[in-house]
Structure 1
Amino acid sequence: MKKKRILFFIYQMGAGGAARTLLNILNNLDRTKFIPTLVTLNYDGNYEKDLNPDIKFIKLKTKRLRSAIFPLAKIIRQEKVDIVFSTIPNYNTIAILARLFSFTRAKNIVREAAFLGGTPSANRKLRVYGLLYTFSSKVIALSHGVKNNVVSRYKVEADKIEVIYNPVDVKQIQKSIDTGKLKQNHESIFTGEEKVIISAGRLVDDKDQQTLIKAFTKVREQIPAKLVILGEGELEAKLKTLAANLNIADDVHFLGFQENPYIYFAKSDVFVLTSKREGFGHVLAEALATKTPIVSTKAKPGATEVLNDGEFGLLCEIGNEQQLTDKILESLNWTEEERQAVVEKGLERVQSFQAETIVKQYEKVFLETLESN
Structure 2
Amino acid sequence: MMKNIMIITRALTYGGAERVAASLASYLTAYYNVDLVVIDGDKQSYHTTANTIYLGQSVIHKGKGINRILWFVNLYKKIIRLRKSKKYECVISFLTEPELMNALTSQFGKSITSIRNVRSSVVCGRIKKIRDKWVFFKMDGIVSLSENAKKDLVENYDVKPDKIRVIYNICDKEYIWDEISKGIIENDISEWLGSGKVFVTTGRLSEQKAQWHMIRAFAGVAKKHPDVKLAILGRGEQEEYLSNLIGELDMAEQIRVLGFKSNPYIYLSKAYCFLFSSVFEGLGNSIVEAMACGLPVISTDCNAGPRELLSPDSSLETKIDKIELAEYGILTPVCDGIHRSGNDALTSAEEELKKAIELMVENEAIYKNYKQKSTERGEQFDIESIVNQWISVIEQ
**TM-based fold match above 0.5:** yes
The answer to whether the 8 A contact 2:22-2:36 is kept is: no
In structure 1, the partner of 2:357 is 328
The answer to whether the 8 A contact 1:117-1:123 is kept is: no
How far off is 1:61 after superposition?
Answer: 4.3
In structure 2, the partner of 1:315 is 331
**Pair 1:361 & 2:361 matched:** no
**Pair 1:138 & 2:138 matched:** no
**Pair 1:235 & 2:264 matched:** no
SS at match of 1:159: helix
1:46 partner amino acid: Q
In structure 2, the partner of 1:34 is 32
TM-score by length of 1: 0.90
1:56 equivalent among 51, 68, 74: 51
In structure 1, the partner of 2:188 is 185
Once the two structures are superposed, residues 112-135 of structure 1 have per-residue CA deviations (whole angstroms, 9 ceiling, x without a partner) of 111122599536523421222222
Matches of 2:87 and 2:37, distance apart in 1: 14
Task: Describe the shift of the 1:227–1:119 C-alpha distance in structure 2 as closer, same or farther (beyond 3 A).
Answer: closer
2:248 equivalent among 245, 248, 252: 245
How far off is 1:296 after superposition?
Answer: 0.6
Matches of 1:179 and 1:263, distance apart in 2: 8
**Pair 1:24 & 2:23 matched:** yes
**Pair 1:129 & 2:129 matched:** no
1:269 partner amino acid: Y
In structure 1, the partner of 2:117 is 114
How far off is 1:159 after superposition?
Answer: 0.9
SS at match of 2:379: helix
**Pair 1:73 & 2:86 matched:** no
The answer to whether the 8 A contact 2:28-2:387 is kept is: yes
Once the two structures are superposed, residues 86-126 of structure 1 have per-residue CA deviations (whole angstroms, 9 ceiling, x without a partner) of 022332011221343xxx3x110111111122599536523
How far off is 1:45 after superposition?
Answer: 3.6
How far off is 1:272 after superposition?
Answer: 0.4
Q: How well do the aligned residues superpose, as a CA RMSD in angstroms?
A: 1.9
How far off is 1:295 after superposition?
Answer: 0.7
State the 4+ residue runs in structure 1 displaced beyond 6 angstroms: none
Once the two structures are superposed, residues 307-329 of structure 1 have per-residue CA deviations (whole angstroms, 9 ceiling, x without a partner) of 12621111111221111111011
TM-score by length of 2: 0.85
The answer to whether the 8 A contact 2:297-2:370 is kept is: no
In structure 2, the partner of 1:371 is none
**Pair 1:288 & 2:285 matched:** no
Task: Describe the shift of the 1:312–1:140 C-alpha distance in structure 2 as closer, same or farther (beyond 3 A).
Answer: same
Task: Describe the shift of the 1:339–1:157 C-alpha distance in structure 2 as closer, same or farther (beyond 3 A).
Answer: same
Matches of 1:134 and 1:171, distance apart in 2: 38
The answer to whether the 8 A contact 2:180-2:265 is kept is: yes
Matches of 1:57 and 1:97, distance apart in 2: 22
The answer to whether the 8 A contact 1:176-1:260 is kept is: yes
After alignment, is 22-31 or 56-65 more displaced? 56-65
Once the two structures are superposed, residues 142-163 of structure 1 have per-residue CA deviations (whole angstroms, 9 ceiling, x without a partner) of 1000001111111111111111
1:16 partner amino acid: G
SS at match of 1:205: coil
In structure 1, the partner of 2:12 is 13
Matches of 1:263 and 1:61, distance apart in 2: 31
Task: Describe the shift of the 1:80–1:202 C-alpha distance in structure 2 as closer, same or farther (beyond 3 A).
Answer: same
How far off is 1:60 after superposition?
Answer: 1.7
Matches of 2:95 and 2:251, distance apart in 1: 38
Matches of 2:28 and 2:98, distance apart in 1: 22
Matches of 1:131 and 1:92, distance apart in 2: 11
Matches of 2:45 and 2:122, distance apart in 1: 34
1:323 partner amino acid: E
Task: Describe the shift of the 1:334–1:119 C-alpha distance in structure 2 as closer, same or farther (beyond 3 A).
Answer: closer
How far off is 1:23 after superposition?
Answer: 1.8
Matches of 1:150 and 1:187, distance apart in 2: 44
Task: Describe the shift of the 1:44–1:30 C-alpha distance in structure 2 as closer, same or farther (beyond 3 A).
Answer: closer
Matches of 2:279 and 2:367, distance apart in 1: 26
How far off is 1:205 after superposition?
Answer: 2.0
Once the two structures are superposed, residues 190-239 of structure 1 have per-residue CA deviations (whole angstroms, 9 ceiling, x without a partner) of 222x2211111222222122211111121012212111111111121211
1:93 equivalent among 100, 114, 124: 100
1:354 partner amino acid: D
How far off is 1:338 after superposition?
Answer: 4.7
The answer to whether the 8 A contact 1:307-1:313 is kept is: yes
**Pair 1:176 & 2:179 matched:** yes
Structure in which a larger fraction of residues adopt helix: 1
1:364 partner amino acid: S
After alignment, is 175-184 or 4-13 more displaced? 175-184
The answer to whether the 8 A contact 2:6-2:35 is kept is: yes
Q: How does 1:329-344 map to 2 (within 5 A)?
A: 329-335=358-364, 338-344=366-372
In structure 1, the partner of 2:216 is 214
Matches of 2:290 and 2:126, distance apart in 1: 32
The answer to whether the 8 A contact 1:229-1:254 is kept is: yes
SS at match of 2:120: coil
Percent identical across equivalent pairs?
A: 27
SS at match of 2:280: coil
SS at match of 1:250: coil
Once the two structures are superposed, residues 38-91 of structure 1 have per-residue CA deviations (whole angstroms, 9 ceiling, x without a partner) of 11124134345x211xx2221124335512111111111211210011022332
